């Protein structure tokens, strides 16, 4: 049916020294980045904040892991380049937002990146979140085995690092 509507804000700083795209983590939205956006504005940058699919006011569903959200990041980065064509473009992503930027990079590169809390493999990050310490690996394997049926991709397909 097409790409979900993405909702965001643009803070255009006159005479800015560049533009920074900020992408939030899973379960958050652009409001989580307002303080950082203000800091960057005060430092002389224009700032773009969007809610990723299934978060905040944006449409769509949470697909997870940053792989599908990479499509959001491609659209957001293209918007940023169109809105500020003569400026350097930086991108800051946290967790899900960081993974989305990595998956988007081949099609929509930034001039600079800050990637925070980026996972290396889904098995590691999933196991880390499991409640039963001794069964974490097993629980992660059971969950990740369902990915091809539910999302059409495997855990090995979603490996940003």
How far apart, in whole angstroms, are the C-alpha atoms of residue 52 and residue 75?
Answer: 11
Q: Is it the case that residue 161 has pLDDT exceeding 90?
A: no
Question: What CATH number should be reported for the domain whose range is 8-118?
Answer: 3.40.50.1820
pLDDT score recorded for residue 85: 96
18-68 per-position pLDDT tens digit = 999 999 999 999 999 999 999 999 999 999 999 999 999 999 987 778 888
pTM attached to this predicted model: 0.86
- What are the extents of the domains in the chain? 8-118, 120-161
- Residue (of 80, 84, 121, 125) closest to 104 by Cα position: 80
- What percentage of residues in the chain have a pLDDT greater than 70? 99
Q: For residues 142 and 111, give the distance between their C-alpha atoms in angstroms, rounded to a whole number.
A: 39
């Amino acid at each position: 049916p097409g790409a979900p509507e993405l909702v965001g804000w643009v803070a255009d700083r006159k005479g800015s020294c560049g533009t920074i795209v900020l992408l939030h983590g899973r379960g958050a939205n652009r409001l989580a980045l307002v303080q950082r956006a203000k800091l960057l504005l005060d430092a002389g940058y224009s700032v773009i904040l969007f809610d990723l699919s299934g978060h905040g006011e944006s449409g769509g569903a949470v697909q997870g892991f940053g792989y599908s959200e990479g499509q959001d990041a491609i659209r957001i980065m293209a918007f940023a380049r169109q809105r500020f064509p003569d400026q350097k473009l930086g991108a800051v992503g946290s967790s899900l937002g960081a993974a989305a930027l990595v998956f988007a990079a081949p099609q929509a590169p930034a001039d600079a990146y800050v990637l925070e809390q980026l996972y290396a493999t889904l098995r590691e990050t999933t196991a880390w979140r499991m409640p039963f310490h001794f069964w974490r690996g097993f629980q992660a394997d059971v969950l990740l085995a369902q990915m091809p049926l539910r999302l059409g991709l495997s855990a090995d397909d979603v490996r940003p690092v």
